[in-house]
Amino acid sequence: MSSGESQTCFIAMPISMTDSHRERYGDPDHWQHVMDVIFKPAITAAGFTPVSPVASGADMIHARIVEYLERAPMMLCDLSTLNANVMFELGVRTALDMPIAVVAEKGTRLPFDTAVINTHFYDPSLQSWDVATEIEALCAYLQSSVRTSGSGNPLWKHFGLTKRAKEAHVSETPEQAFLETRLSSMSEEIHTVTRFLAELAYERQAQRQVGSAPEDRRFYVPVELPVKSTAAFVELEEMVDGYGGEIVQDPASVNDGYLVMRFTRGLPATAVSKLRHAANRTEYRFYVDVERHDGTMDRRVLSKM
């Protein structure tokens, strides 16, 4: 941050209204009014420049928020409604051992871990005759937080933490932050497609090892009971059954040690890979026979991986 921002105080607070608060206050912009009427004047009076969680009517760029969480000398953290985003921002400040001033509207029940922090409770009604008192009390609390916490986080002192998180690198511009995020997303997509193509190529290669069997009508017999002795085999048999098939023996191929997964209809593109993984957990090797329209069988080797 520039030297002009050396005394900033970032405000972490709820932005959107919950139904209960909308009914309670009858004000769709309640949190904005709390910030404008109490928080900002009190922060200014305490000697800081307030930084709103929203900028120019739009959500602040995430990279900019991270920058303030990481470097702002003070953060005012409003735990009213126990908002998830605010809790996350509080966690980041705590991990970085940076000063915080925790506030909440009166009546808020704080979680145990945050209840140990000295918390200022304010009146959210925004009654005109109470506003000046609320600003003065919050200003005094902020100044007290500065004196007691110094440059550290109060949770560190309470829990005796000793290891500080490393500061993250933040892009210089929002455009760079967007590009970094987009490139990361594209990299994940490319990895997914590459893995799919590699698995598809493997299946094609396995199919070419044997090719189509002679166009004859095969004769099958049930699998002998001792073969079904393992849980892995039973699991595979259930999977084959789910694809409309059965595990059998072909008397013509008994001597080569193969069993047969026999299907009377075609298999989905993803089925071969799943069947192969399940077959790998058994001690057997398998042919995959798929019946053609004319009743003959197309045989492939289900290769071990």
Sequence ranges of the domains in the chain: 3-170, 211-302
d(CA 138, CA 11): 13
Query: What pLDDT score does 78 carry?
Result: 95
Q: Are 72 and 116 in contact (CB under 8 A)?
A: no
Q: What is the pLDDT along the chain (305 residues), one digit of tens a residue?
A: 444 445 899 999 988 887 777 787 788 889 999 999 999 999 999 999 999 887 544 444 567 788 888 889 999 999 988 888 888 888 888 888 889 999 999 988 887 555 557 899 999 888 888 899 999 999 999 999 888 877 777 766 655 555 555 555 555 566 666 666 666 666 555 555 555 555 555 455 544 444 444 444 556 666 665 556 678 888 888 899 888 899 888 777 666 778 888 888 877 767 888 888 888 888 888 888 888 777 777 888 876 65
What is the total residue count of the chain?
A: 305
Give the class (CATH, top level) of 3-170.
Answer: alpha beta
pLDDT at 173: 60
Alpha helices in 72-227, H assignment, sequence order? 84-95, 112-115, 128-149, 154-159, 174-210
Residue labelled with tokens 């085999």: 233
Structure confidence at residue 178 (pLDDT): 60
User: Residue 83: what pLDDT?
Assistant: 86
Burial category of 87 from C-beta neighbours within 10 Å (exposed 0-12, middle 13-18, buried 19 and up): middle
pLDDT of residue 36: 94
- H or E segment at 66? helix 62-71
CB 236 within 8 A of CB 281: yes
Prediction pTM value: 0.51
What pLDDT was estimated at residue 215? 42
pLDDT of the residue at 274: 87
Closest alpha carbon to 13 in 169, 173, 127, 138? 138
